[in-house]
Chains A and B, each alone.
Chain A
Amino acid sequence: SQQGEEDPQALSIQEGENATMNCSYKTSINNLQWYRQNSGRGLVHLILIRSNEREKHSGRLRVTLDTSKKSSSLLITASRAADTASYFCATDTGRRALTFGSGTRLQVQP
C-alpha cells in the first residue's frame, strides 16, 4: 500500500497563481521528499525536509511538515507554464527505500 497520498489528484491553475499540494502519510519518518515528473521523463528531486524541521524553502518552493498530523504541503509560488508536471511526495522511514505517493497532476495554463 502507498505510504504517502497526495491531494488533490489533479490541479489546474493560471500562470502566476500559487499551487498547493498536500501529502499525508501513515508511519513515522526520517524525512519527506518531493519530486517532480514531467511527461515521459524520470523523477527530479525538488526538496527534502527532515522530521525535525517544520518548514523549508527553495526558490519558489515552500515545504511544510507537521509530524503530529503526519502531513506535508508543497507550495509553488508564482507558477509558470513550465511547472506543469506531476508532483510526488516520498517518505523515508529509514527501514527501506523511499515510498512514493500517487502524485498530484498540476496543469498551469499560460
Chain B
Amino acid sequence: EAGVAQSPRYKIIEKRQSVAFWCNPISGHATLYWYQQILGQGPKLLIQFQNNGVVDDSQLPKDRFSAERLKGVDSTLKIQPAKLEDSAVYLCASSLAPKGRTEDQPQHFGDGTRLSIL
C-alpha cells in the first residue's frame, strides 16, 4: 500500500511569512495527525482529525497555526505568520480508526516537511 505522502520536503522562509504543508494519508485511514518535531526531541501533537472533524487541537497555537481536512482525506497545515521558533520538521501521520476508536492502532508517518525560518 502507498504510504503517507507529504509535500514539500523542505521549505525555507523568512519570519513573518506564511507557509503551508500538505498531507495525503493512507487510503481508508480515518484518523490523521499533525506533529511538530523540533531537532533532538520527540514529535509533539498539534492536531488530530477523525474524518474531517477535529478531535484534539489543544496544543495548536491557534493565533498562527491552522489546519483543515477537506472531505476527510487530504489535509493542509498552515502557519501565518511564521516565527523563528517554528523551525522544525512537521510530520503527518494516519491510522485506522474502526468505529471511532483509536486504541491499539499504530500510526503511519510520512517523511515530513523540514521548515527553516530565517
Contact = CB atoms under 8 A, between A and B. Distances in A.
Interface residues of A, number: 26
Contact of B104 (A41, A43, A50, A99): A50
Nearest to A47: B106
Contact of B56 (A44, A97, A100, A102): A97
A53 to B, nearest CB: 11
B42 A42 contact: no
A31 B109 contact: no
Q: Could you say which of B4, B48, B55, B106 has the most chain A C-beta atoms within 10 Å of its C-beta?
A: B106
A88 B42 contact: yes
A43 B109 contact: yes
Interface string B1-43: 0001000000000000000000000000000010000001111
Contacts of B41: 102-103
Nearest to A95: B56
Interface string A67-110: 00000000000000000000010101010111111110000000
A101 B42 contact: yes
Interface string A14-51: 00000000000000001101010000111111001010
Given A44-B109, A102-B42, A97 B104 contact: no
Given A43-B91, A43-B109, A31 B104 contact: yes
B50 to A, nearest CB: 10
Given A31-B104, A43-B91, A50-B104, A96 B45 contact: yes
